[in-house]
Amino acid sequence: MKKTMKLIGFTVIATVIVFAFTVCDNGPGDKTQTMTFKGSDAGGDYVLLITQDAANRAFTVKPNDDYKLTYIGGRESLGKVTAASGDTLTLTPNDNTKPPITAKVSGDALTSLTSTGTNIVWDIGGETPAPGTAITPPTPPPTSGIATITVSNQQFHSANQQPDGTIFSPYTGSGKVYAEYWDYESENLLRRDEIGVVTNGILSFKLQVAPPAAALYNMSEVLNEEMGVSVNVNPNNTKINQAELFFVDSNNVKHYLGCASDEINMGYWYADRNVSANFEGKIDEEQDLVINLTLKTGWNTFYSKYDVSADKFSVTTTNPEPAKQLKWAYYQ
């Protein structure tokens, strides 16, 4: 149920609802971290996929991470990152008779590819001239004409989840806030955006850029297939994704970031058009489920709430009570 947990913000386990940020099967400490960088020259598209070494649990590319560089015509180069300094990576092919490649990156873009041998020698496909800085980043996603989310001057917390509830403690440190977008089928990271900061325990960020097209999923399919119910989605070809938010502390350690109480989880969906979705009924003829969503093109706030006494789960774009109890926190 990977799509459900990521996109809907919840999963159903028997008659108990557990929110996504508590039950995702791969947390930031145990998920294989992948990073994808893209660029193009006159000949075609380059894709550099970095996969962390098992010992690398930092938020950056490090030596001994695996790389896979691909280019048009089925060309590929496989090997290891042997040096990483800022935005500059040294890629050493597994076949050490082939010259190393120097890649420069910015965000999710490749900005330069050079080789000590002038040409990039591919494992498959011969060799081609290294493009140097004559490489252009992917077309940026839209940043205007869409709804945006701004969170400012919020007290940040550390959250320690206990069997009888979550203990929220005020946080006084600093760090950066990121949004990530994944291809959940391949478990590849498609893009990472730096969206805000925590400064002396105060959180501020802004969601204003559309996710990559490859990260958008059909809303009807996700709701109907994964939940096993027939949700009225209008229009039914709408695509959505949920931003996965992370906090990276001053020690470069990555944590899930969320806004929640013990009953309510708040999250953010991106919709590629105005859409409504409604359902009221039971899941597996047992648990009550209510979905009542009205999303605008762009970023939207949604809330998921489980009423224990009524055994009822609701997902809505309307701020429920006691939403005022929600706290922004990173989860240990």
Does residue 122 sit in the same domain as residue 149?
A: no
Out of 76, 99, 129, a domain closes at 129
Place of tokens 């280019």: 71
Tokens of residue 213, six digits: 């097209």
Residue 234 belongs to some domain of the structure: yes
Average pLDDT, the chain: 82
Residue 175 belongs to what domain range? Answer: 2-30+141-331
Residue 6: helix, strand or coil by DSSP?
A: helix
- Name the residue with higher pLDDT: 26 or 66: 66
Does residue 51 sit in the same domain as residue 97?
A: yes
DSSP bridge pairs for 183? 188
Residue 160 belongs to some domain of the structure: yes
Does residue 15 sit in the same domain as residue 83?
A: no
Does residue 123 sit in the same domain as residue 244?
A: no
DSSP bridge pairs for 115? 101
Residue 136 belongs to some domain of the structure: no
**Are residues 272 and 239 in contact, defined by beta-carbon separation less than 8 angstroms?**
yes
Quick check: 49 pLDDT over 70? yes
pLDDT per residue as tens digits for the range 178-209? 998 887 777 777 788 889 999 999 999 999 98
Residue 115 belongs to some domain of the structure: yes
Does residue 56 sit in the same domain as residue 196?
A: no
Omega cis (within 30) before 28: no
Does residue 218 sit in the same domain as residue 255?
A: yes
Percentage of residues in the chain having pLDDT higher than 90 = 39
Does residue 172 sit in the same domain as residue 193?
A: yes
CA–CA gap between residue 144 and residue 131 (Å, rounded) = 32
- Name the residue with higher pLDDT: 70 or 285: 70
From residue 191, give the alpha-carbon distance in Å to each of 16, 26, 141, 178: 33, 18, 11, 10
Quick check: 1 pLDDT over 80? no
CA–CA gap between residue 176 and residue 236 (Å, rounded) = 36
Does residue 185 sit in the same domain as residue 278?
A: yes
- Name the residue with higher pLDDT: 23 or 108: 108
Quick check: 32 pLDDT over 70? no
Quick check: 95 pLDDT over 90? yes
Does residue 212 sit in the same domain as residue 118?
A: no
Out of 98, 129, 160, a domain closes at 129
Does residue 125 sit in the same domain as residue 146?
A: no
pLDDT per residue as tens digits for the range 204-256? 999 998 888 888 888 888 887 767 788 899 998 899 988 889 999 988 888 88
Say what the pLDDT of residue 20 is.
33
Tokens of residue 46, six digits: 């380059």
Residue 134 belongs to some domain of the structure: no
Residue 78 belongs to some domain of the structure: yes
Which amino acid is located at 237 in the chain? N
Beta strands at 10-13 and 16-19: parallel, antiparallel or unpaired: antiparallel
| Cβ-based neighbours of 212, under 8 Å, separated by 6 or more | 141, 181, 190, 191
How far is residue 82 CA from its own chain's centroid?
Answer: 27
**Are residues 46 and 71 in contact, defined by beta-carbon separation less than 8 angstroms?**
yes
Out of 129, 156, 182, a domain closes at 129
Say what the pLDDT of residue 104 is.
95
Does residue 183 sit in the same domain as residue 111?
A: no
Say what the pLDDT of residue 143 is.
66
Residue 9 belongs to some domain of the structure: yes
Residue 219 belongs to some domain of the structure: yes
Does residue 237 sit in the same domain as residue 96?
A: no
What total number of domains does the chain contain? 2
